[in-house]
Amino acid sequence: MPEVPKIVHDRLRAGLPEGTGQETAHPDPNQLTAFAEQALSTAERESVLQHLTACGDCREAVALSIPPMEGDSRPIAAPEDESTVSAGAISSRATRGQRSWFAWRSLRWAALAAVIAVAGGILLIHPGNPNSVREATQQSTNTVSTPKEQIIAKQQAPAPDSALDAIRLEKKSAPAVRSFGRDKESGLAHPAPPAERALIAQAQSESRTAFKDLASGKVVGVAPSGLAPQAPSTSEMAVVPAASGPVMAAEARNDLALTGTQVSDLKTISKAKAAKTESNAPPSPQPSEDLDKQQSATDTPARRQRAVANMNAVVANSRLTAGKSDFPQPAQYPAQWAIHGNDLQRSLNSGAAWKTVLHSDRALLCYGTGGNEVWVGGKTGDLFHSANGGVTWTQVHPSAQELTLAEDITSIDVYSPSQVVLFTGDSQSWSSADGGKTWEKK
């Protein structure tokens, strides 16, 4: 953040000079509450804001009266030396000091940056033929077969560039975090100079080996293009989802096949497969379709309830450990979310495996989470809500004063299980203070 000159601090602290109309009486707790809940009229809000600008105590009261975030699981620390710092500074410093760099919000961006860096590195080391890239892109958009099948088909064709095509195909099928970085590789690719042919051939052979292992289910999370396995690091965390994209996509398709009738309805989507927790363990050689059939055959309501309870426990556990300063164990990672076209995908193991938990008829654009509360917004006002970490979903149709939300939802803020604010592409703001039952448009 930019620093402002010291004189600005001093003059802000001193308050505005007399005669500017800022010397108003303290607002009562009702007005401060209504201000914090955005329930004041414009004129009243302006009046309260004017007072707050000049009154540190009221600013303090407003800041302290904001409810904690759902995912805010900070341990309660003893206050510091209160004789030297203000009450607000204590609270604020405690908040800042206990905010971990490894919180999922930070990791999300770190993972995105690492994915972009790795993708760029791969393209720099192995620049391919633009024609083959275009073909691969076309094939990936036209073909609806599973990525596993695509890879196997590519392996059977002994063309020299097939492995590189497969890499690109695989990267196309990997989930893009919040839809960033789509199709960037096709724009960056350029023909390889003759001097690099030997390097490319070596990389192709290594890639083929890796994809054979991948297709046989032996390897999950191997970096493509001959990147050697290294000690755990943040960059490797980003490589893993890219490599496990086909496996994830295959799982997603199986999920959709299992709940196909419910997906078409989209009113309430029950995930019968919630018991199947994502993990870092390599997938068994048994085809996943067979597993799904067995699982769906043995599914009972009691088992579903247990599965939901397990899922909630995993999410809660990961949330509790997310605030600690030491690096969390893989099993305790908080849920990560990614939007891929019309699908919302979730990973419970730091991106090693992704699972489609929601499919929409139209493109999804954004999501907001707070604890087990997940809100997903999309094109033309599509809005979905899950109160149990993505296990079940409900479509919500916000309307206020005979107006229905029909604009693209571009941002969602979740403040508590009951309070959520949506922002649309044309700068509308819709807020609900009762978990989406009633809405207010601003």
- Residues, the chain: 442
For other proteins, the closer CB: 203 or 366: 366
Q: Check residue 421 for interaction with other proteins (CB under 8 A).
A: yes
Q: Check residue 267 for interaction with other proteins (CB under 8 A).
A: no
Question: Cβ 282 to other proteins, closest distance in Å?
Answer: 39
Question: Cβ 51 to other proteins, closest distance in Å?
Answer: 9
Chain center to CA of 291:
28
Question: Cβ 355 to other proteins, closest distance in Å?
Answer: 28
Q: Of 30-38, 195-203, 220-228, 230-238, which segment contacts other proteins by CB under 8 A? A: 30-38
Q: Check residue 433 for interaction with other proteins (CB under 8 A).
A: yes
Contact (Cβ atoms closer than 8 angstroms) between residue 436 and residue 428:
no
Distance CA 57, CA 202 (A): 68
Residue 126 class from Cβ within 10 Å (0-12 exposed, 13-18 middle, 19+ buried)? buried
Handedness of CA 81, 86, 87, 93 (dihedral sign): negative
Question: Cβ 416 to other proteins, closest distance in Å?
Answer: 10
* Separation in Å, CA 296 to CA 139, 258, 299, 380: 32, 8, 5, 34
Q: Of 26-34, 188-196, 215-223, 252-260, which segment contacts other proteins by CB under 8 A? A: 26-34
- The residues facing 343 across adjacent strands are 340, 359
For other proteins, the closer CB: 393 or 415: 415
Task: Look up residue 252 and give its amino acid.
Answer: A
Q: Check residue 266 for interaction with other proteins (CB under 8 A).
A: no
Distance CA 361, CA 381 (A): 12
Distance CA 223, CA 167 (A): 10
Q: Check residue 428 for interaction with other proteins (CB under 8 A).
A: no
Q: Of 143-151, 159-167, 249-257, 407-415, which segment contacts other proteins by CB under 8 A? A: 407-415
Between the two ends of the chain, the Cα-to-Cα distance in Å is 28
Give the interface size with other proteins as a residue count (CB under 8 A): 72
For other proteins, the closer CB: 52 or 308: 52
Contact (Cβ atoms closer than 8 angstroms) between residue 404 and residue 397:
yes
| Half-sphere CA count of 280, side-chain side, radius 13 A | 12
Q: Check residue 415 for interaction with other proteins (CB under 8 A).
A: yes
Kindly tell me which residue out of 18, 30, 158, 402 binds other proteins, with binding defined by CB under 8 A.
30
| Half-sphere CA count of 90, side-chain side, radius 13 A | 13
Question: Cβ 321 to other proteins, closest distance in Å?
Answer: 20
Question: Cβ 317 to other proteins, closest distance in Å?
Answer: 20
Per-residue contact string for residues 2-21; x = within reach of other proteins by CB under 8 A: xxxxxxxxxxxx--xx--x-
For other proteins, the closer CB: 53 or 428: 53
Question: Cβ 56 to other proteins, closest distance in Å?
Answer: 7
Per-residue contact string for residues 59-98; x = within reach of other proteins by CB under 8 A: xxxxxxxxxxx------xxxx--xx---xxxxxxxxxx--
Distance CA 359, CA 339 (A): 10
Task: Look up residue 191 and give its amino acid.
Answer: P
For other proteins, the closer CB: 58 or 222: 58
Question: Cβ 411 to other proteins, closest distance in Å?
Answer: 6
For other proteins, the closer CB: 87 or 117: 87
Contact (Cβ atoms closer than 8 angstroms) between residue 118 and residue 242:
yes
Rounded to 5°, the CA angle 417-251-351 comes to 60
For other proteins, the closer CB: 122 or 322: 322
- Please give the residues from 324 up to 353 whose contact with other proteins meets the rule CB under 8 A: none
Distance CA 376, CA 414 (A): 11
3-state helix, strand, coil in the chain (%, to 5): 50, 15, 40
Q: Check residue 108 for interaction with other proteins (CB under 8 A).
A: no
- Please give the residues from 32 up to 61 whose contact with other proteins meets the rule CB under 8 A: 32-40, 44, 46, 49-50, 52-53, 56-57, 59-61
